[in-house]
Amino acid sequence: MAVVVFSFLRRCSQQETNPYTGRTQAISLSPEQEIAISLQSAPVMAQQHGSLHLDKRYQALIDQVGQKLVNNSIAKNTPYKYDFHLLADDRTINVCALPIGQCYITYALFSKLENKDLLAGVLGHEIGHVLEKH
């Protein structure tokens, strides 16, 4: 019984109101832990997906759309430094974000998007994950 009470009290004491969404949520990582995990994970992401894509035009488009989303949303008021990366993987359709705002999209997914609006939808979704601390 003591273990259950301790677990409940610990969970309640590790809650905070997300300043960007207004939702109360359980916090399992400190900001320092989020940063450490993200810094360790960033090179692994690129390595697992064939490194970064070499086409600077595609990367510039992703940067432009991503930064426009950040600058025109509550994301600009966060302490996160949003960066958007195109991964060279042309087989795996995937997108992901690390806790501190590093967003990745594979070329396989990017190449299927027919316009900037679809790209904005995908990147905006990932920005949402960062804001929600998923």
* DSSP per position, 51-76: SB---HHHHHHHHHHHHHHHHTSGGG
Ordered by where they begin, the domains of the chain are: 29-132 (3.30.2010)
Would you place residue 10 in the very low, low, confident or very high pLDDT band (cuts 50, 70, 90)?
very low
Q: What is the pLDDT of residues 71-124, one digit of tens each?
A: 999 999 988 889 999 999 999 999 999 888 999 999 999 999 999 999 999 999
Q: Give the strand order in the sheet containing 95-97.
A: 83-87, 102-106, 95-97
Model pTM? 0.75
| Mean local confidence (pLDDT), 23-44 | 72
Report pLDDT for 42.
78
Listed residue (26, 48, 45) closest to 100, CA to CA: 45
Question: Could you give the CA distance from residue 38 to residue 60 in angstroms, rounded to a whole number?
Answer: 23
